[in-house]
Protein backbone atom coordinates (compact mmCIF):
# COMPACT_ATOMS: atom_id res chain seq x y z
CA UNK A 1 0.00 0.00 0.00
CA UNK A 2 2.78 2.43 0.86
CA UNK A 3 4.29 2.18 -2.64
CA UNK A 4 0.98 2.98 -4.30
CA UNK A 5 0.20 5.88 -1.95
CA UNK A 6 3.67 7.36 -2.29
CA UNK A 7 3.49 7.05 -6.07
CA UNK A 8 0.25 9.06 -6.09
CA UNK A 9 1.77 11.70 -3.78
CA UNK A 10 4.86 11.98 -5.97
CA UNK A 11 2.67 12.41 -9.05
CA UNK A 12 0.87 15.24 -7.24
CA UNK A 13 4.28 16.92 -6.78
CA UNK A 14 4.06 16.87 -2.99
CA UNK A 15 7.60 17.62 -1.76
CA UNK A 16 9.48 14.60 -0.47
CA UNK A 17 10.20 16.26 2.88
CA UNK A 18 6.53 17.05 3.43
CA UNK A 19 5.23 13.63 2.41
CA UNK A 20 7.73 11.64 4.41
CA UNK A 21 7.99 13.82 7.51
CA UNK A 22 4.21 13.58 7.94
CA UNK A 23 4.25 9.85 7.19
CA UNK A 24 6.90 9.05 9.79
CA UNK A 25 5.52 11.58 12.27
CA UNK A 26 2.13 9.88 12.23
CA UNK A 27 3.80 6.48 12.60
CA UNK A 28 5.81 7.70 15.61
CA UNK A 29 2.72 9.14 17.32
CA UNK A 30 0.75 5.93 16.77
CA UNK A 31 3.55 3.76 18.13
CA UNK A 32 4.07 5.96 21.21
CA UNK A 33 0.32 5.82 21.87
CA UNK A 34 0.42 2.01 21.69
CA UNK A 35 3.37 1.95 24.09
CA UNK A 36 1.53 4.22 26.53
CA UNK A 37 -1.65 2.14 26.41
CA UNK A 38 0.31 -1.05 26.98
CA UNK A 39 2.38 0.65 29.71
CA UNK A 40 5.63 -0.26 28.01
CA UNK A 41 8.81 1.86 28.24
CA UNK A 42 8.69 4.95 26.02
CA UNK A 43 12.46 4.96 25.43
CA UNK A 44 14.96 2.27 24.41
CA UNK A 45 17.32 0.93 27.05
CA UNK A 46 20.30 3.06 28.01
CA UNK A 47 23.06 2.86 25.44
CA UNK A 48 20.65 2.27 22.53
CA UNK A 49 18.63 5.50 22.51
CA UNK A 50 20.99 7.53 20.35
CA UNK A 51 21.51 4.54 18.07
CA UNK A 52 17.78 4.09 17.51
CA UNK A 53 17.29 7.77 16.79
CA UNK A 54 20.24 7.87 14.37
CA UNK A 55 18.91 4.82 12.52
CA UNK A 56 15.91 6.97 11.70
CA UNK A 57 17.74 10.28 11.17
CA UNK A 58 20.48 8.89 8.93
CA UNK A 59 19.34 5.45 7.78
CA UNK A 60 15.63 5.34 7.11
CA UNK A 61 15.23 9.01 6.22
CA UNK A 62 17.85 8.64 3.47
CA UNK A 63 16.43 5.37 2.14
CA UNK A 64 12.84 6.60 2.11
CA UNK A 65 13.81 9.91 0.51
CA UNK A 66 15.63 8.17 -2.33
CA UNK A 67 12.71 5.78 -2.85
CA UNK A 68 10.17 8.61 -2.96
CA UNK A 69 12.25 10.58 -5.46
CA UNK A 70 12.60 7.43 -7.60
CA UNK A 71 8.80 7.12 -7.74
CA UNK A 72 8.75 10.51 -9.45
CA UNK A 73 11.07 9.17 -12.15
CA UNK A 74 9.31 5.95 -13.10
CA UNK A 75 6.40 3.59 -12.57
CA UNK A 76 5.79 2.02 -9.18
CA UNK A 77 6.51 -1.41 -10.66
CA UNK A 78 9.88 -0.35 -12.05
CA UNK A 79 10.99 1.24 -8.76
CA UNK A 80 9.84 -1.79 -6.75
CA UNK A 81 11.62 -4.12 -9.18
CA UNK A 82 14.96 -2.39 -8.58
CA UNK A 83 14.37 -1.96 -4.85
CA UNK A 84 13.88 -5.71 -4.39
CA UNK A 85 17.62 -6.10 -4.89
CA UNK A 86 17.95 -5.48 -1.13
CA UNK A 87 17.56 -9.10 0.10
CA UNK A 88 20.57 -10.17 -1.95
CA UNK A 89 22.53 -7.12 -0.79
CA UNK A 90 21.76 -7.84 2.87
CA UNK A 91 22.91 -11.45 2.54
CA UNK A 92 26.12 -10.36 0.79
CA UNK A 93 26.83 -7.71 3.44
CA UNK A 94 26.35 -10.22 6.26
CA UNK A 95 28.59 -12.73 4.48
CA UNK A 96 31.26 -10.08 3.82
CA UNK A 97 31.24 -9.02 7.48
CA UNK A 98 31.23 -12.68 8.57
CA UNK A 99 28.00 -12.20 10.46
CA UNK A 100 26.29 -15.15 8.80
CA UNK A 101 27.77 -17.86 6.52
CA UNK A 102 26.62 -17.87 2.92
CA UNK A 103 25.00 -21.31 2.80
CA UNK A 104 23.13 -23.05 0.02
CA UNK A 105 19.78 -22.70 1.80
CA UNK A 106 20.25 -18.94 2.15
CA UNK A 107 21.23 -18.53 -1.50
CA UNK A 108 18.24 -20.58 -2.65
CA UNK A 109 15.86 -18.59 -0.43
CA UNK A 110 17.17 -15.28 -1.80
CA UNK A 111 16.97 -16.56 -5.37
CA UNK A 112 13.39 -17.78 -4.97
CA UNK A 113 12.11 -14.67 -3.23
CA UNK A 114 13.90 -12.26 -5.59
CA UNK A 115 12.76 -14.08 -8.73
CA UNK A 116 9.23 -14.29 -7.36
CA UNK A 117 9.13 -10.55 -6.66
CA UNK A 118 10.44 -9.83 -10.16
CA UNK A 119 7.74 -12.00 -11.76
CA UNK A 120 4.97 -10.39 -9.71
CA UNK A 121 6.13 -6.88 -10.59
CA UNK A 122 6.88 -7.24 -14.30
CA UNK A 123 3.66 -9.14 -14.98
CA UNK A 124 1.40 -6.63 -13.24
CA UNK A 125 2.71 -3.16 -14.01
CA UNK A 126 4.41 -1.10 -16.66
CA UNK A 127 8.15 -1.05 -16.14
CA UNK A 128 9.21 2.44 -17.18
CA UNK A 129 11.90 4.48 -15.44
CA UNK A 130 14.53 7.09 -16.23
CA UNK A 131 18.27 6.68 -15.69
CA UNK A 132 18.06 8.94 -12.66
CA UNK A 133 15.20 6.82 -11.33
CA UNK A 134 17.32 3.68 -11.66
CA UNK A 135 20.15 5.27 -9.67
CA UNK A 136 17.76 6.53 -6.99
CA UNK A 137 16.00 3.16 -6.62
CA UNK A 138 19.27 1.21 -6.38
CA UNK A 139 20.68 3.72 -3.90
CA UNK A 140 17.52 3.30 -1.84
CA UNK A 141 17.97 -0.49 -1.89
CA UNK A 142 21.61 -0.16 -0.80
CA UNK A 143 20.71 2.23 2.03
CA UNK A 144 17.93 -0.08 3.21
CA UNK A 145 20.30 -3.06 3.19
CA UNK A 146 22.85 -1.26 5.37
CA UNK A 147 20.02 -0.02 7.60
CA UNK A 148 18.74 -3.56 8.19
CA UNK A 149 22.16 -4.94 9.07
CA UNK A 150 22.95 -1.97 11.32
CA UNK A 151 19.58 -2.23 13.08
CA UNK A 152 20.16 -5.88 13.82
CA UNK A 153 23.61 -5.19 15.27
CA UNK A 154 23.17 -1.87 17.09
CA UNK A 155 19.77 -2.17 18.80
CA UNK A 156 19.46 -5.62 20.36
CA UNK A 157 18.09 -5.14 23.89
CA UNK A 158 15.19 -2.73 23.34
CA UNK A 159 11.64 -3.76 22.49
CA UNK A 160 10.48 -3.82 18.87
CA UNK A 161 7.74 -1.22 19.31
CA UNK A 162 9.85 1.33 21.17
CA UNK A 163 12.69 0.97 18.68
CA UNK A 164 10.26 1.43 15.83
CA UNK A 165 8.83 4.56 17.47
CA UNK A 166 12.25 6.15 17.88
CA UNK A 167 13.32 5.27 14.34
CA UNK A 168 10.11 6.77 12.93
CA UNK A 169 10.50 9.86 15.12
CA UNK A 170 14.13 10.29 14.07
CA UNK A 171 13.27 10.00 10.39
CA UNK A 172 10.42 12.51 10.72
CA UNK A 173 12.62 14.99 12.59
CA UNK A 174 15.42 14.76 10.03
CA UNK A 175 13.06 15.33 7.11
CA UNK A 176 11.35 18.25 8.86
CA UNK A 177 14.71 19.93 9.44
CA UNK A 178 15.76 19.40 5.82
CA UNK A 179 12.40 20.64 4.57
CA UNK A 180 12.54 23.76 6.72
CA UNK A 181 16.09 24.51 5.59
CA UNK A 182 15.34 24.03 1.89
CA UNK A 183 11.81 25.42 1.75
CA UNK A 184 10.43 21.99 0.95
CA UNK A 185 7.55 22.03 3.40
CA UNK A 186 3.98 22.82 2.42
CA UNK A 187 0.52 22.19 3.81
CA UNK A 188 -0.65 18.78 2.49
CA UNK A 189 -4.31 19.80 2.56
CA UNK A 190 -5.35 17.62 -0.35
CA UNK A 191 -3.47 14.54 0.78
CA UNK A 192 -4.33 14.19 4.45
CA UNK A 193 -6.28 10.94 4.07
CA UNK A 194 -3.53 9.29 2.02
CA UNK A 195 -0.85 10.50 4.42
CA UNK A 196 -2.83 9.25 7.40
CA UNK A 197 -3.28 5.78 5.92
CA UNK A 198 0.38 5.71 4.95
CA UNK A 199 1.40 6.66 8.48
CA UNK A 200 -0.73 3.93 10.05
CA UNK A 201 0.64 1.32 7.65
CA UNK A 202 4.17 2.51 8.39
CA UNK A 203 3.66 2.18 12.15
CA UNK A 204 2.57 -1.44 11.74
CA UNK A 205 5.37 -2.19 9.27
CA UNK A 206 8.06 -0.71 11.54
CA UNK A 207 6.87 -2.66 14.58
CA UNK A 208 6.75 -5.94 12.63
CA UNK A 209 10.15 -5.25 11.06
CA UNK A 210 11.91 -4.94 14.41
CA UNK A 211 10.06 -7.92 15.81
CA UNK A 212 11.29 -9.97 12.84
CA UNK A 213 14.86 -8.69 13.18
CA UNK A 214 14.89 -9.82 16.81
CA UNK A 215 13.78 -13.33 15.92
CA UNK A 216 15.36 -13.94 12.51
CA UNK A 217 18.23 -11.56 11.85
CA UNK A 218 18.76 -9.19 8.94
CA UNK A 219 19.21 -11.62 6.04
CA UNK A 220 16.18 -13.85 6.65
CA UNK A 221 14.05 -10.80 7.49
CA UNK A 222 14.95 -9.24 4.14
CA UNK A 223 13.88 -12.43 2.37
CA UNK A 224 10.57 -12.64 4.23
CA UNK A 225 9.87 -8.96 3.49
CA UNK A 226 9.50 -9.78 -0.21
CA UNK A 227 6.14 -11.19 0.89
CA UNK A 228 4.81 -7.64 0.50
CA UNK A 229 4.81 -8.12 -3.27
CA UNK A 230 2.67 -11.25 -2.90
CA UNK A 231 0.33 -9.59 -0.39
CA UNK A 232 -0.10 -6.59 -2.70
CA UNK A 233 -1.04 -8.99 -5.50
CA UNK A 234 -3.65 -10.76 -3.36
CA UNK A 235 -5.15 -7.48 -2.09
CA UNK A 236 -5.34 -6.03 -5.59
CA UNK A 237 -7.21 -9.12 -6.78
CA UNK A 238 -9.56 -9.25 -3.77
CA UNK A 239 -10.27 -5.55 -3.23
CA UNK A 240 -9.70 -3.91 -6.62
CA UNK A 241 -10.83 -6.89 -8.72
CA UNK A 242 -7.59 -6.76 -10.69
CA UNK A 243 -6.82 -9.86 -12.79
CA UNK A 244 -4.01 -12.20 -11.77
CA UNK A 245 -1.95 -13.72 -14.58
CA UNK A 246 -0.13 -17.05 -14.49
CA UNK A 247 3.29 -15.39 -14.27
CA UNK A 248 2.27 -13.63 -11.07
CA UNK A 249 1.05 -16.91 -9.58
CA UNK A 250 4.46 -18.47 -10.24
CA UNK A 251 6.07 -15.41 -8.68
CA UNK A 252 3.91 -15.77 -5.58
CA UNK A 253 4.91 -19.41 -5.27
CA UNK A 254 8.57 -18.41 -5.47
CA UNK A 255 8.16 -15.80 -2.73
CA UNK A 256 6.36 -18.26 -0.48
CA UNK A 257 9.05 -20.85 -1.16
CA UNK A 258 11.81 -18.44 -0.14
CA UNK A 259 9.96 -17.50 3.03
CA UNK A 260 9.36 -21.17 3.86
CA UNK A 261 13.05 -21.97 3.47
CA UNK A 262 13.95 -19.14 5.83
CA UNK A 263 11.41 -20.10 8.47
CA UNK A 264 12.28 -23.81 8.40
CA UNK A 265 16.05 -23.51 8.50
CA UNK A 266 16.90 -20.16 10.05
CA UNK A 267 19.53 -19.83 12.73
CA UNK A 268 19.72 -16.25 13.94
CA UNK A 269 23.16 -14.66 13.74
CA UNK A 270 24.53 -13.65 17.15
CA UNK A 271 24.04 -9.96 17.95
CA UNK A 272 26.96 -7.58 18.29
CA UNK A 273 28.41 -7.44 21.81
User: Long-range pairs for 232-237 at CB < 8 Å and ≥24 separation?
Assistant: 232/1, 232/3, 232/4, 232/120, 233/120, 233/124, 235/1, 236/124
Say what the alpha-carbon torsion angle 44, 50, 173, 41 is, to the nearest 10 degrees: 10
Residue 134 included in any domain: yes
Q: What is the rounded distance in angstroms from the CA atom of residue 68 to the CA atom of residue 17?
A: 10
pLDDT tier for residue 203 given thresholds of 50, 70 and 90: very high
pLDDT score, position 127 = 64
Residue 273 included in any domain: no
Q: What is the pLDDT of residues 74-125, one digit of tens each?
A: 877 778 777 888 888 888 888 888 887 777 777 887 788 778 777 777 776 5
Q: What is the pLDDT of residues 9-61, one digit of tens each?
A: 777 778 888 888 999 999 999 999 999 999 999 999 999 999 999 999 998 89
pTM of the model: 0.78
How many other CB atoms sit within 10 Å of the CB of residue 235?
13
Residue 71 included in any domain: yes
Residue 272 included in any domain: no
* Residues 6+ away with beta carbon under 8 Å from 159: 40, 41, 44
pLDDT score, position 270 = 46
Residue 16 included in any domain: yes
List the domain range (segments joined by +) for residue 21: 2-265
Residue 52 included in any domain: yes
Residue 242 included in any domain: yes
Residue 270 included in any domain: no
Give the chain's domain count.
1
Amino acid sequence: MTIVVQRSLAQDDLPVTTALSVRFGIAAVVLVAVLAVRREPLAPVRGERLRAALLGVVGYATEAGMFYLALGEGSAGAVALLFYAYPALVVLIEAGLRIRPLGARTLLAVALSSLGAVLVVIAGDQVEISTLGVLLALTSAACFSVYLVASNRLVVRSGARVTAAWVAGGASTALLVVGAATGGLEAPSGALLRLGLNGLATALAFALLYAALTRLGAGPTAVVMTMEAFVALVLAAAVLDEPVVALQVFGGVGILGGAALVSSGNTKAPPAP
